[in-house]
Structure 1
Amino acid sequence: MQFTAILLGTITTLSSLASAQYTNRSHAFNLVVESSTNKTLSGTRLTACHSGAAIETLCTYPAASDSISDEFYYNYTTQSKPTSGIITWNLPYNGNQIESEPLTFQYDPSTNVALPVFIPSEDNEVFVTFDKNNYLLVLSYLDDTKTPPGYKPQQLSRWQVCQTYYGSYTYTTLAWTLGSGKPQNPSCQAVKVKRVAITKS
């Protein structure tokens, strides 16, 4: 009975997130890496860089000569607390047209490091929020660190910067550790990601 209640609560929460209308759109901003252990890395902007047909990873700038843009948006709803939303990036095509791509995670069964990518699909978006200091956090509603596992709202920061391989491209990119353990990729460095408003001159 208790498990059924927990399961229904989780399904209800995820369903409400999936059906929420993310009609609020922020102004453009940069995503900036902060590191307490690497002064060279700290302060680096993230940029969308080509990693396949209409697919972009988040590279440290200037990580790749074919980097495209470092302006991002937050599409969000105020119907939930904390505010829930998705990070989007505008893919330019046909000269002056754009396609708003949501951020999602790409997984591979060989590793516990997921790769944030922008793809032209509305499936499996990563639901995120920002704290009062504008740090980017991923929303989660599962706690399986105990038995039985259950429903637990969490705002997680497991960001890494690693050398990654995706779509035949090797870049230094933003990554995400799956679970609470250390990333198995030896190049990974733990970081925070901060939203910084763009000031137009």
Structure 2
Amino acid sequence: MKFAISTLTFALAAVSTAQYDNKSLPFYLTLTSPDASTDGDFITACHTGAGIESLCLSNSSSVSKPDPSYPSTFYFNTSSDIGPPAPGLGQPGILTYSLNISTGEIPSAVTLFNDPTSDFALPLLYPGSNDAQVFAFDDENKLGLTGYVDYTVNPPKPGSFKTYYRWYSCPTYYLGYYYVNLVWSLGAAEPETPGCVEVSVKRVFSD
């Protein structure tokens, strides 16, 4: 058991220090959902502050964005230093985006912002990639997060890596902006915010 835990710790340390400089082909992010008004929608980057974007639903109505918006183009950056943590799991990487400004482009990457009074994390695109969240796409191109600790038992138990898919569409507020955003539930339950619906996130490569 000590050897297994040490191996897992080493693997996670490798992920945190890897250089994610292998850029994928461009793609869109599309949603599937049991909610008919959300199913088939795309993700678009919405202005949320100076150089900051959030992941809005392109066809959603909200106070802060025009309706509808065009789907945004994203990339997935991986590292040649690290592969999938276990057979059958996707290669770790970071979700990136190029923010167009008058003087050129700002490379950005998704970080999960946690408000301790909420039960979901808000994915935000920040310039650079120092604090970027590591994700993985599975063999069906679905986006998830990989972990190895089972928190449903007491005490929590380290074990095999698995991928989690805890995506929801929720009404959000951040720095004065009201959007319908893609969010990550902090646990297995549906977020407490009214209007949240469960979604799956899939990449569709551009033609």
TM-score by length of 1: 0.88
Report SS of the residue matched to 1:11. Answer: helix
1:163 equivalent in structure 2: 171
- Distance in 2 of aligned mates of 1:11 and 1:149: 15
1:56 equivalent in structure 2: 53
Q: Does 1:77 align with 2:75?
A: no
Deviations 1:31-52 (A, max 9, x none): 00111x2222111110000011
| Worse-matched range after superposition: 119-128 or 172-181 | 119-128
- Distance in 1 of aligned mates of 2:194 and 2:8: 34
The answer to whether the 8 A contact 1:9-1:151 is kept is no
| Worse-matched range after superposition: 153-162 or 139-148 | 139-148
1:15 equivalent in structure 2: 13
- Counterpart of 1:125, as a letter, is A
Point out where structure 1 has 5 or more consecutive residues left out of the alignment.
Answer: none
- Distance in 2 of aligned mates of 1:171 and 1:146: 35
How many residues are paired up?
195
Give percent identity, aligned residues only: 33
- 2:188 aligns with one of 172, 180, 194: 180
Deviations 1:65-122 (A, max 9, x none): 2968600000013532131101001012343x21211111000111111111101143
1:167 Cα deviation after fit: 1.3
CA RMSD of aligned residues (A): 2.1
